[in-house]
Amino acid sequence: SKHCVNLDNTTANVTVKPFELDMGFQFELHVTVSGKKINVSDIPELPIPEDWMRDKLELHFYKTEQAEGGGEIENVTYHKGSGTGVITFLNPG
């Protein structure tokens, strides 16, 4: 549990300690699907940064092809004010 880390030519001794993550948020999304893009609406405004919400949307919609859907994601846009987003996949499907 103890580690030695070099930071900018200085050695720091650190100790790893367990911690609990805050409970996540659960919400319902409304989705419109096309060949390559998914339009998401009614995303609730949550007290998290916009880049976190983009990451959550990407993780939610990314699935391997073996999982019957999804795929590699090219881009995720999120508009906090309107509660909408667009997930664009690399390949249509």
- Say what the pTM is: 0.58
Of residues 8 and 85, more confidence is placed in 85
Report, as an integer, the average pLDDT of 18-47.
Answer: 77
**Strand spans (E) along 1-93:** 2-7, 10-15, 30-33, 37-41, 73-79, 84-89
Q: What is the pLDDT of residues 61-93, one digit of tens each?
A: 886 554 555 678 899 999 998 999 998 988 776
Of residues 71 and 12, more confidence is placed in 12
Q: pLDDT at residue 36 above 80?
A: yes
Q: In whole angstroms, give the CA distance from residue 48 to residue 64.
A: 27
What is the predicted pLDDT for the residue at 19? 72
Q: pLDDT at residue 12 above 70?
A: yes
